[in-house]
């Protein structure tokens, strides 16, 4: 008997793509066949100047998964911070920033309309070096995203450079300045920063391949992700869609994690972040 068969197993950050990849329903079935139960899906960047089309696609993809598969799916919508760099190739920074803000206002309307779209993300600032003007504009946009999160009373997933304690402190202060609960500010791709997350209230979303005994001993205040891209030309990037169930199963088999811990990571933390109820 599969030890994770009846347990909630959640991937907190992945992408689906009906044009370049397997597509929403096949990815969901692959995840389910591996033992997965809940998917938090985010729209991809497009790098074509249209910042809202991928949000509309995401809404339809989440609908299809919930209707046609055994997976429970939720979505987050936003504008990837790398889109700003792309836009500045064709327009000045002021216009690019305005276009980003307009698209984020569209994202707000989607969150308001659909109960299965549960947050803003992924938004933030580039993970690569940019000039000071783009960096400043990106932080302005991120702060605006936090204001949207406050208005919507929803979670926000941040894409940014590699996590440090100073970064967590910065995001905490930014959240407090805006007036949102930093407990619902999620740092995607955040290494092993569980103790720093507790200290500054920012919520860590950790690549499944990095979750080990050392992290679990420190704290269960994190969620797991793959950042699966769903691109047939880049198979398994960043991690394969089966990775979260596989790692969770391995940790259970080794006695590093027990069922109570699985529920904490994959159900309780997810429910708290996204204000949803999962039936397990």
- Please report which confidence band the pLDDT of residue 248 belongs to, taking 50, 70 and 90 as the band edges: very high
Phi, psi (5° rounding) for residue 89? -75, -20
pLDDT digits (tens, 9 = 90+) for 33-72: 999 999 999 999 999 999 999 999 999 999 999 999 999 9
How far apart CA 19 and CA 173 sit, in angstroms, is 40
Question: Domains in the chain, ordered, with CATH?
Answer: 10-274 (3.20.20.140)
Environment class of residue 133 by beta-carbon count within 10 Å: exposed (0-12), middle (13-18) or buried (19+)? Answer: exposed
How far apart CA 249 and CA 155 sit, in angstroms, is 28
Q: What percent of the chain is modeled with pLDDT above 70?
A: 100
Q: What is the pLDDT of residue 280?
A: 83
Q: What is the pLDDT of residue 93?
A: 98
Averaged pLDDT of the chain: 97
**Whether residue 1 has pLDDT greater than 90:** no
pLDDT digits (tens, 9 = 90+) for 137-175: 999 999 999 999 999 999 999 999 999 999 999 999 999
**Whether residue 9 has pLDDT greater than 80:** yes
- Please report which confidence band the pLDDT of residue 236 belongs to, taking 50, 70 and 90 as the band edges: confident
Q: What is the pLDDT of residue 146?
A: 98
Q: 202: which DSSP letter?
A: P
Q: 32: which DSSP letter?
A: H
Measured in whole angstroms, the distance separating CA 167 from the mean position of its chain's CA atoms is 18
pLDDT digits (tens, 9 = 90+) for 180-199: 999 999 999 999 999 999 99
pTM (global) more than 0.75: yes
Residue 76, beta-bridge partner list: 42, 119
pLDDT digits (tens, 9 = 90+) for 71-86: 999 999 999 999 999 9
């Amino acid at each position: 008997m599969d030890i994770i068969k009846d347990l909630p197993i959640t991937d907190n950050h992945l992408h689906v793509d009906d044009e370049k990849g397997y597509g929403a329903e096949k990815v969901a079935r692959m995840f389910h066949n591996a033992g997965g139960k809940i998917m938090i899906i985010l729209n991809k960047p497009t790098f074509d100047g249209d910042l809202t089309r991928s949000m509309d696609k995401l809404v339809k993809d989440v609908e299809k998964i919930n209707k046609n598969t055994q997976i429970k799916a939720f979505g987050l919508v936003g504008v990837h911070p790398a889109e700003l760099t792309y836009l500045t190739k064709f327009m000045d920074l002021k216009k690019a920033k305005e276009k980003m803000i307009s698209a984020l206002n569209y994202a707000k309307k989607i969150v308001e309309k659909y109960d299965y779209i549960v947050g803003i993300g992924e938004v933030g600032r580039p993970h690569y070096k940019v000039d000071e003007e783009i960096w400043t504009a990106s932080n302005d946009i991120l702060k605006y995203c936090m204001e949207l999160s406050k208005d919507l009373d929803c979670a926000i997933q941040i894409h940014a450079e590699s996590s440090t304690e100073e970064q967590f402190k910065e995001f905490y202060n930014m959240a407090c300045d805006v007036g949102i609960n930093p407990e619902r500010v999620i740092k995607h791709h955040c290494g092993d920063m569980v103790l720093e997350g507790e200290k500054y209230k920012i919520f860590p979303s950790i690549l499944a391949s990095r979750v080990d005994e050392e992290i679990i001993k420190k704290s269960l205040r994190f969620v797991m992700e793959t950042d699966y891209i769903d691109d047939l030309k880049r198979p398994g990037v960043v991690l394969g869609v089966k990775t979260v169930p596989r790692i969770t199963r391995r940790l259970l088999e080794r006695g590093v994690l027990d069922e109570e811990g699985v529920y904490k990571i994959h159900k309780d933390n997810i429910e708290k972040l996204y204000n949803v109820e999962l039936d397990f």
